[in-house]
Structure 1
Amino acid sequence: MGAAAAGIRIQLLGPVRYVSPAHGALSPGARGPQAVLAALALRAGTLVTTSQIVDGLYESDPPPSARRVVVNYVHRLRSRITPDRSHRAADGGAAPEVIESAAGGYLLRLPPDSVDALRFTRLTEQARTAAADGTPESAVALLEEALGLWQGPPLAGLTGPYAHAQRQALTEQQAGALEHYLELLLECGRHADAVPGILSALDLHPYRERLHRALMLALYRSGRTADALAAYDRARRVLDEELGVDAGPALKAAHAAILAGEAGAATPSPGRPAARGAAPPATAPAPAGVPAAPAVPAQLPAPPADFTGRADQAAALARTLTGTADSTSGSAVDSGDGGSPAVAVITGMGGVGKTSLALRTAHAVRGRFPDGQLYAELRGADGDPVDPGDVLGGFLAALGVPPARVPARTADRAALFRSALAGRAVLLVLDNAVSVAQVQPLLPGSGRCAVLVTARALTAMPATATLPLDGLGPDDAVALIGRIAGAHRIEQEPRAVAALAEVCGRLPLALRVTAARLAARPAWSVEALLARMSDEARLLGELRAGDLAVEAAFEMSFAQLDRAHARAFMLLSLPHRTEWDIEAAAAVLELPCPDAEDVLEALVDAALLETRAPGRYRYHDLVGVYARAKARAGLGGRQRLDAVVRAVDFLCAGVVRAVLASQPLGKPLTNECHPRRSAGPDVGEGPAAVAWVRGALPALTALVEQAAACDDADAVALAVDILALMPCFEESVPLASLVRAAADLVPAAQRLCGDDHVGTAHFAAGVIHRNHASSDRSRDHLLTVLELFGETPTLADGSRRFLAVLFALSMLAELYLERGDFAAARTCAERSVALAEATGDRRLCARRRTVLLQVEVRDPGRATDLARIGAECRELAARFTGETDGEWLMTVLMTEAHSFFQDGRHTDAVRHYTRVLEQARASGHGRIETESHYRLAEALLAAGGTEAALDHARRALEGARLAQEHLLTARGHQVLGQALRHAGQDTRATGHLRRARALYRELGLRADAEATSALLNGS
């Protein structure tokens, strides 16, 4: 019986071990024998020479004794790894050796499946095949089996170049398989199941964008849109702060789809092949009477020697041009004279690499066109279109038509050209086409021909396929810089090179320019060039090297615009928005929406705007820089400022409409907010309005920051009103991104606005800093509101002042409560109740009364007994239920649960917290859901339910991180640390408690920080 039958297996996915049926998992000895076993196992069944083993063991020149060392290691392995002696060979003799000697080396006599690393590879390949065949459930099962083989870092502890290279390869394979597995879970509709696994994977691989994208889609499809958007912000921040790079196209596309509500479809399985085309028809004979050309034209210019990336696009174009699924087969294309020629069109902005890709593709397929290749540049040196009649004259000459036979009229030349190509297989490359009318006469009639056209835009061009081209991917962009400036640049300054690629917008022309400058300046560091390019005003000047200039590529498109379109192009670049919708653009351009859409589409056709989805438009980063430079030169200062004010005004109007559509107190809250120019967008009602605010948050953040810096009173006042209303959406929209804007607006309002807006700016800053930044700064801002507006205003003083004081008192009550200052918290809460009662508004009174109960229930010196507090909570709950005030209903139910917890009735507390959790989850109130998790964890720990407490504590921390709220994050770390300590996991508990303490200190919550220190000290 052979070695395979002896049941020996080799484990490499973790510590190196061999496993026998009789003895289980055993070590094969010291690190040297382990490394030899790994080298043989990874090539099981194949001869591995002694020289290969030696090369894999030693980093530099091996010692003279290296071969003897290998022989010794093999001897040791054989003494340990032996088949079960109860098994015999087929002829009755002794069982064969597992490690056999062969000519010049050794062979591990085991089947591949006996080695876990090889079995892992086989299973992942089978999973890819299953996914491609449309059976994702089978692929998931295969990947679960594959990933279950891992027991730690592969080839753990082994040194040497071979082990190092294989460890890197296996680790990358594991990460790829894990990504594939999680994406397949999404394809199978198991969105909620995928979230914990993705979060765990991100702990190991925080920079893998596929994982961040999968998390966003899993959260969105689980009904957690706010969490999905927060996950994008976190991914973008991690990539930016830790790698210095922007989110990639796939991540941004997922974000845009979520914002547009279009991310609900199943995720295609990675690696699934495209549909294969039909085989080419048989060759048809050339028409009779057409003379053969005396020469075969070969006019293709050489492609760039440093061409990088675009493999998928080149392959797709090749398939289109050759009419096959596999452009490498070598057989000639022939669609017959009765068919139409294949026409592929590459479109994109200037500098994106259309010509390079076209030439690369054309050279790749030219063997399929044995009758020649024709090339024409359709734009002259002055930027004007070349006459198609002149192009046809050149083509006919190249095809052997005597000059005397070339007609004068373009239409006649086109007819003769089609006749000359009849029955021939010729490839045409038409570069930089300007219009369909220019291209149409140049198209052959023979189905054996193919045409590849490049153009910035070619609207309504009849084509077999059109490929819109974007910038290079991050890795390809870095690789292109390395190919031109030298690979040592990447090795010496990898992060700086990646950042440089992003500054260049990954536009091939810009990358070539910057790389060429570095190549010509070997003494310059990449960091030095980055510093020069950090100033937008000089960026375009830096993107110039010899005859290469990025600005010139854009200028050609801009020169074709009429005056109205040129003005729109400049105006829309000024507000800090990364994306425009039609309504927002119409507001800035002061046009009706249909007219604005026409303008936007015209700019897309000019390759000066990009559109990733219907009704959504954006500038490429460098085009935006160019547009702002043109605006500074071509528009007056007031014109530029008014564009920004109109953009802020539009968003302010949208926020006002969203508050009115979704908040029970919307009318008084917005009574004195007056957008001046715009009616705002159609935000919908209820949840739709909240969704609009979520989608607008990036633009709101950027524009409020811009308004704070633009020295215009109208812009600042509008921005203040926006920020003052944003806390209405705190439960569904992460406000952490607004902290900087809130801080910047206060001095701007003090400089430019009256007391009303100054006080409102302090109020907004106080609310947004609470829980997200500094407790001390929040308190100072809110106390300033009371100083400016007085502590007892009336509605006669204006709703802005009255509500700012009312809410500031409530916020101060909550803030003091978190700081453990119960007397101050009670005073502020009672004042807010008194103000509300003066209005006679029962809903307003009920909300303020709830805040006072929150103080009472947590105050150890409370004047009201817990039973009475619970009764009042139930009375208020009935009122909120009748008024369909869901958020405050959950708040008062949470307060009642607190009363049970404080009274030692932990089981009742768990039941009530669970009720709040279910309601929050159903209604999409993410913050209350997260708070419910950590409160449940506290109550469960008190009730002795450690395992359940651990689960809720982890969910609390996950939700807090996604919400980017520091206070919730601190609470999550604290309760998880406590739960882990209860579970006996002291080391992990200590890490979480330390992080909680650090956050409490950052927030200025000294009592919480001291309490956490006590937990760390074991008291």
Structure 2
Amino acid sequence: MSDTFGRRLREQRHTAGLTMEQLAERSGVSARAISDMERERSVAPQRRTVQALAEALALPAAEQPAFLAAARAGRARTTATVPAGCCALPRPIPDFTGRGRELAQLTRVANAAQPAPAVAPVVTVSGTAGTGKTTLAVQAAHLLGAAFTGGSLFVDLRGMDARPPGADETLARLLSALGVRDDEIPEDGTDRAGMFRELLHHRRVLAVFDNVADESQVRPLLPGPGPSLTVITSRRLLAGLEGVHRLHLTQLPSEDAATLLRRIIGDREPGATGEVAELCGRLPLALRIAGNRLMSRPQWTVRHLADRLSDERRRLDQLIAGDLRIAAAFSLSYTQLSPQARRLFRRLSLAPVADFDAGLAGALDPVDPDGIEDALDELVESSLLQAHVDGRYRFHNLIRLFARERLAEEEPAAGHGRSA
């Protein structure tokens, strides 16, 4: 049998003639923590905990070095990397473009991650469908991964599903990925969360929780003190999470959008390439769809696609490439809105100006004037509407077209006579 810290602790306690409760009283370490250490469910006790136990056991000076060394060996084992294939990162995108400011911020946060007692940092990456949240998180994880000697974890939390997985289910996956045997995973969700935090207390792990539905789904997954980094992506702002760093993605700058398209299709027709990038609203998913469509139709010129996209009534129908559909990405967010927020979303497509306030929103949807502010907040929280200064709001141009389509489909009378 290996000379583990748990076995040494149990032997020394028996030699001293102490029960777990008596040792707990003498050392100030809880009986449950002592039990976990002896059963080797907790193999990485802090140095101050080990020192308190050694003093409570009245270990002779000659035996203390071996006792402390066994604890250090346990901590060393917890720095082992995540087993290959367990919650592994997706492949990075070879033509990743832009987002230099966001990558720099993620790098600064990662470099600031320190061992306990510092609290492990958490970064949320939010934005509407198609802004490249997952792509950014994965790119950052691959760039920063070498610094996280405990490995990287990636879990898709399927936030747009009708029934996303709960935190308890996700914690079981994470504990398994970190080497906990199935029969050692606690049944209780609170205990699972505690075990997960304990494992990350000493491990330098980078965890990416992608496509989060809401705060309740991810809050139990957040680490406590320790050197790890957690990156969360969500279409929602997750405003209820406290003490996190926040990144909100919007469309790419014009130069980066054109560069991304050129990296997909090559250097051809620079004027038309820039025009297609603007017609795609500089949204990374739309740009990728447009680029893939051109590459799968080598007989098409870039000008031909630009002409097809120039018709607003057909633009969303043109942004389809295989299983990638820009309208389908927007629809997932739309279907999760409350009935009033959906109705307001549709009616706002009739706004005669690019940006508007709550007064105009109420005029376009007078059914429930008292609920207008709440519905606007819901649209902003879901990243379907952009909040600007002085209480004004704005659509991304592709989302406005999607709202018009929903209006024509669901409320044809309301949209009758509107300008195209």
Cα drift, residue 591 of structure 1: 5.9
Q: How many residues align?
A: 347
* Maintained 8 Å contact 2:251/2:283: yes
Local SS of the residue matching 1:376: strand
Looking at structure 1, the residues matched to 48 and 177 of structure 2 have their Cα atoms a distance apart, in angstroms, of 19
Q: 1:419 to 1:586 in 2, by over 3 A?
A: same
Looking at structure 2, the residues matched to 474 and 285 of structure 1 have their Cα atoms a distance apart, in angstroms, of 53
Cα drift, residue 446 of structure 1: 2.6
Q: Does 1:296 align with 2:85?
A: no
Looking at structure 2, the residues matched to 514 and 362 of structure 1 have their Cα atoms a distance apart, in angstroms, of 27
Q: Counterparts in 2 of 1:527-926, with a 5 A limit?
A: 527-590=303-366, 595-637=371-413, 639-641=414-416, 706=419
Match of 2:133 in 1: 354
- TM-score normalised by L of structure 2: 0.78
Match of 1:209 in 2: none
Please list the CA deviations of residues 652-708 of structure 1 after superposition, one character each: whole Å capped at 9, or x if unmatched: xxxxxxxxxxxxxxxxxxxxxxxxxxxxxxxxxxxxxxxxxxxxxxxxxxxxxx5xx
Paired residue type of 2:330: F
* Maintained 8 Å contact 2:358/2:392: yes
Q: 1:537 to 1:287 in 2, by over 3 A?
A: farther
Aligned pair partner of 1:451 in 201, 207, 230: 230
Paired residue type of 1:296: T
Looking at structure 2, the residues matched to 316 and 286 of structure 1 have their Cα atoms a distance apart, in angstroms, of 34
Aligned pair partner of 2:266 in 477, 480, 486: 486
Q: Does 1:474 align with 2:259?
A: no
Paired residue type of 1:595: G
Local SS of the residue matching 1:502: helix
Q: Does 1:363 align with 2:152?
A: no
Q: 1:287 to 1:559 in 2, by over 3 A?
A: farther
Paired residue type of 2:415: R
Q: Does 1:433 align with 2:222?
A: no
Structure 2: give runs of 5+ residues left out of the alignment. Answer: 1-45, 51-70
Cα drift, residue 383 of structure 1: 5.3
Aligned pair partner of 2:96 in 298, 307, 320: 307
Cα drift, residue 437 of structure 1: 0.7
Q: 1:349 to 1:384 in 2, by over 3 A?
A: farther
Paired residue type of 2:318: E
Please list the CA deviations of residues 106-144 of structure 1 after superposition, one character each: whole Å capped at 9, or x if unmatched: xxxxxxxxxxxxxxxxxxxxxxxxxxxxxxxxxxxxxxx
Local SS of the residue matching 2:226: coil
Please list the CA deviations of residues 84-113 of structure 1 after superposition, one character each: whole Å capped at 9, or x if unmatched: xxxxxxxxxxxxxxxxxxxxxxxxxxxxxx
Q: 1:424 to 1:401 in 2, by over 3 A?
A: same
Structure 1: give runs of 5+ residues left out of the alignment. Answer: 1-283, 324-332, 645-705, 710-1019
* Maintained 8 Å contact 2:96/2:260: yes
Q: Sequence identity, in percent?
A: 38
Local SS of the residue matching 2:299: coil
Looking at structure 1, the residues matched to 188 and 332 of structure 2 have their Cα atoms a distance apart, in angstroms, of 29
Match of 1:407 in 2: 186
Q: 1:397 to 1:562 in 2, by over 3 A?
A: same
Q: Does 1:316 align with 2:105?
A: yes
Looking at structure 2, the residues matched to 302 and 285 of structure 1 have their Cα atoms a distance apart, in angstroms, of 38
Local SS of the residue matching 2:207: strand
Please list the CA deviations of residues 179-203 of structure 1 after superposition, one character each: whole Å capped at 9, or x if unmatched: xxxxxxxxxxxxxxxxxxxxxxxxx
Local SS of the residue matching 1:379: coil
Looking at structure 2, the residues matched to 389 and 614 of structure 1 have their Cα atoms a distance apart, in angstroms, of 41
Looking at structure 1, the residues matched to 331 and 47 of structure 2 have their Cα atoms a distance apart, in angstroms, of 48
Cα drift, residue 464 of structure 1: 3.0
Match of 2:38 in 1: none
Looking at structure 2, the residues matched to 482 and 294 of structure 1 have their Cα atoms a distance apart, in angstroms, of 42
Please list the CA deviations of residues 54-108 of structure 1 after superposition, one character each: whole Å capped at 9, or x if unmatched: xxxxxxxxxxxxxxxxxxxxxxxxxxxxxxxxxxxxxxxxxxxxxxxxxxxxxxx
RMSD: 2.2
Local SS of the residue matching 2:211: strand
Paired residue type of 2:254: P
* Maintained 8 Å contact 2:95/2:264: yes
Looking at structure 2, the residues matched to 293 and 431 of structure 1 have their Cα atoms a distance apart, in angstroms, of 25
Cα drift, residue 400 of structure 1: 1.0
Cα drift, residue 286 of structure 1: 9.8
Q: 1:294 to 1:316 in 2, by over 3 A?
A: closer
Q: 1:583 to 1:394 in 2, by over 3 A?
A: same
* Maintained 8 Å contact 2:123/2:244: yes
Match of 1:691 in 2: none
Cα drift, residue 527 of structure 1: 1.1
* Maintained 8 Å contact 1:321/1:344: no
Q: 1:296 to 1:563 in 2, by over 3 A?
A: same
Match of 1:169 in 2: none
Looking at structure 2, the residues matched to 500 and 287 of structure 1 have their Cα atoms a distance apart, in angstroms, of 62
* Maintained 8 Å contact 1:486/1:519: no
* Maintained 8 Å contact 1:379/1:385: yes
Match of 2:55 in 1: none
Looking at structure 1, the residues matched to 142 and 390 of structure 2 have their Cα atoms a distance apart, in angstroms, of 35
* Maintained 8 Å contact 1:358/1:452: yes
Cα drift, residue 402 of structure 1: 0.8
Cα drift, residue 449 of structure 1: 1.3
The structure that is helix-richer by fraction is 1
Cα drift, residue 401 of structure 1: 0.7
Please list the CA deviations of residues 877-933 of structure 1 after superposition, one character each: whole Å capped at 9, or x if unmatched: xxxxxxxxxxxxxxxxxxxxxxxxxxxxxxxxxxxxxxxxxxxxxxxxxxxxxxxxx
Q: Counterparts in 2 of 1:127-206, with a 5 A limit?
A: none
Higher relative contact order (CA 8 A, sep 6+): 2
Question: Is the radius of gyration larger for structure 1 or structure 2?
Answer: 1
Cα drift, residue 585 of structure 1: 1.1
Looking at structure 1, the residues matched to 133 and 215 of structure 2 have their Cα atoms a distance apart, in angstroms, of 17
